[in-house]
Structure 1
Amino acid sequence: MKKTLQMTILGIVLVGLAGFEAAEQSAQKLAEKAEALQVLASEAVDETMQQLN
């Protein structure tokens, strides 16, 4: 029974780690998209300022 409990706990830990890995990857992708949007917004503001001047 002790071995079964240990294997169950190990399985739960591994599933949890996989979930954290997926969350980390999603957060990284979101950060990359946010950075790209920031660059686009900055370029749009620069272009608008140049047109106004």
Structure 2
Amino acid sequence: MTISITNSRKLVDVRNRIIHGCDSVSDNVVWGIVIKHLPVLKAEVEKLLSE
């Protein structure tokens, strides 16, 4: 079974920037990601868990 998460590489990259260089990450960028990408990620994870 292949697990496919939309924008998974970008999500990992943002996580790494937040963890390793949080002073260079804008609050607006983080908030934009939360609003735009978190609902998609949540739906994909819920679908995977229900399989």
TM-score over 0.5 (shorter chain): no
TM-score of the aligned structures, taking structure 2 as reference length:
0.35
Question: How does the TM-score come out when normalised to structure 1?
Answer: 0.33
Choose between structure 1 and 2 for higher RCO, CA contacts under 8 A separated by at least 6 residues: 2
**Structure number, greater radius of gyration:** 1
Which structure carries more helix by proportion? 1
